[in-house]
Amino acid sequence: MPEPRTNQPTGAEAMVQMLQAYDVQHMFGLCGDTTLPFYDALARMDHGITHFLTRDERHAAYMSDAYARVTGKPGVCEGPSGGGATYILPGVVEANDSSVPILAITTDVATTSRGRYPLTELDQTALFRPLTKWNTSLDNAARLPAAIRQAFRAMTTGRPGAVHLALPFDTQKGAVDAAEIWADPRHRTFPAERAAPDPQAIRDAADILAGATSAVAICGGGPVLAGAEAQLQALAELLDLPIATTVSGQGSLAETHPQALGVVGSNGGVPATRAVIDDADVILFIGCRAGSVTTERWRSPPKGKTIVHIDSDPMVIGANYPTDVAICADAKLALAALLADLQTRVPQLQNGRTRAAAAWQAKLAGFHPLATSQDRPIRPESVVAALMDTLADDAIIVADPGTPCPYFSAHYRWRKPGRQFITNRAHGALGYALAAAMGAHVGRPAAKTVAVMGDGSFGFCCGEFETLTRYNIPITAIVFSNATFGWIKAGQNAGFGQRFYNVDFNRTDHAAVARAFGVKSWTVTDPASLIPVLKEAITHPGPTLVDVISQPLHEAAAPVSEWVA
């Protein structure tokens, strides 16, 4: 018999109403036994939320991650108990460590079943505690709205990050006071409640920058997350300051801007860009952790430089370099304050345009002959060049680790600032790009989105091609097909005496696999065919895939300093 109704919403209904109150319009997830009351509420209620059914929970989290990156709103993903909670973890930890706010909801066994060995029981809060900014189990239906408000507050304030809510089965059926269902509108977008910089720290930093002769800025993901592109460009132009980025920081400044130096570090940097960093007298880190990749294991910049560091997370500043001025603040507010101070002075110009131009010329001199090569298998540089010739300026590229990341980071020259490039730099799990591209398209449907992956990554995600066709999402997937886990094989080639152990696998006809799911597909073996095939794929109104028979990394000139050395 159906349960008697009251005028109080159930926990499942209250969850839907709270998501609606926070202006959640899209969510991604996968059904399970413990989720039945929540799905029933979604089915019955008028809420305006589009739910995308995925083929596994990991990709639901990746979709919500990229959705958040392109919209400035928290992404929402969900999954069931047990295996669902464990499968969703890779996407949650990637988003959290990339400072991207996503809400992961995993339903759970009833609180009354705990300790009685029910199917799928595990301690979800203990599982997610080290991997999220905040998490809790909604054991009391009456407290559900308050906990959701706390989740959105945690996600969007300070350093943004991922949160997790466990939603037990009995809580979904419990009663909630309708008066408690309300949202704080400040936390519908991020970053919320921005922290302003200390005025003295701004004056100290301005003193250093005004007197420097060869300063350089290195931007991590902070400026793009904060929407600080305009302030950064104004500061660069005022000081004639060269602007370098990490891979995550691409989009801080258009790479066609005269002050842009491009990516630095061991993944995408080249000797010419490294020289600009090593020769600088002042390093301005902006929203950058100065981690192992950016600094080539803390060798570039070398120790002894004057360091000014801006970051919203106080634990980042000074973690890897002695810091002369620490500015713990939102990147947009900090750069605006620096700009205002320096506009009252006559600062020493940094000759940034000349230094940046020389570095680009050196990089292009090495890139051009490879990009125009007619060699077979096809060089990855040829694919990058063909896409630059084919895609519009507002296109989004989502790249997996392995073959795509270093080539696109180093050589694809972004013609406008903002979030045009997405890659999972925190933990580098294979299989990210396809799902993340779907989330990016849902969040920004007017832009063409391209997912670029190796064939190792294809094996991690190919089930989601069914999701792609079910929703007719018009993204283009490009596979670098070289029948190996190329990053590992390149490492064995460079540092382990070419002892290639257990990295090669059989070649898959990726076009045929995608075609079986209903995706229009091509295989390209001739570099001369790249541009015409890519144009056709990109303009096709539905999902497409281009399988490129490509050169493996260990035989290529990849811009990865450890292999070059």
Domain that holds residue 340: 199-355
Tell whether 366 is covered by a domain: no
Alpha carbon 369 to chain centroid, angstroms = 31
Give every residue of the chain whose pLDDT is below 50, as ranges.
1-5
Would you state the pLDDT for residue 452? 98
Determine the number of helices (DSSP H) and then strands (DSSP E) in the chain.
23, 18
Tell whether 17 is covered by a domain: yes
> Do 174 and 248 lie in a common domain?
no
For residue 541, how many other CB atoms are within 10 A of its CB? Answer: 8
Number of domains present in the structure of the chain? 3
Would you state the pLDDT for residue 403? 87
How far is 257 from 520, CA to CA, in rounded Å?
Answer: 37
541: nearest Cα among 445, 454, 440 = 445
Q: Is 558 left (phi over 0), alpha (psi -120 to 50) or beta?
A: beta
The string of DSSP letters for 41-87 reads HHHHS---PEEEE-SSHHHHHHHHHHHHHHHSS-EEEEE-STHHHHH
> Do 509 and 398 lie in a common domain?
yes
Tell whether 244 is covered by a domain: yes
Tell whether 502 is covered by a domain: yes
User: Is the separation of the CB atoms in 27 and 51 below 8 Å?
Assistant: yes
Tell whether 365 is covered by a domain: no
102: nearest Cα among 51, 34, 27 = 27
Q: For 187-238, write each residue's pLDDT tens digit.
A: 999 999 999 999 999 999 999 999 999 999 999 999 999 999 999 999 999 9
Secondary structure class of 116 (helix, strand, coil):
coil
> Do 98 and 180 lie in a common domain?
yes
Tell whether 404 is covered by a domain: yes
Name residues whose C-beta falls within 8 Å of residue 326's C-beta, 6 or more positions apart in sequence.
201, 309, 314, 317, 318
> Do 425 and 313 lie in a common domain?
no
Single out the residue in 141, 166, 187 at which a domain terminates: 187
> Do 209 and 321 lie in a common domain?
yes
Tell whether 194 is covered by a domain: no
Radius of gyration of the chain (CA): 24
Secondary structure class of 148 (helix, strand, coil):
helix
> Do 230 and 288 lie in a common domain?
yes
Single out the residue in 187, 222, 241 at which a domain terminates: 187
> Do 314 and 388 lie in a common domain?
no
> Do 176 and 229 lie in a common domain?
no
User: Residue 154's domain is classified under what CATH number?
Assistant: 3.40.50.970
> Do 234 and 332 lie in a common domain?
yes
Q: What's the token pair of residue 166?
A: 């466990």
> Do 149 and 233 lie in a common domain?
no
Single out the residue in 328, 355, 382 at which a domain terminates: 355
User: Residue 274's domain is classified under what CATH number?
Assistant: 3.40.50.1220
Secondary structure class of 132 (helix, strand, coil):
coil
> Do 414 and 554 lie in a common domain?
yes
Would you state the pLDDT for residue 2? 44
423: nearest Cα among 33, 100, 55, 112 = 100
Tell whether 363 is covered by a domain: no
> Do 153 and 288 lie in a common domain?
no
Residue corresponding to tokens 């995608």: 514
Would you state the pLDDT for residue 561? 87
DSSP label at 155? H
User: Is the separation of the CB atoms in 242 and 213 below 8 Å?
Assistant: no
Q: For 336-381, write each residue's pLDDT tens digit.
A: 999 999 999 999 999 999 999 999 999 999 999 999 999 999 999 9
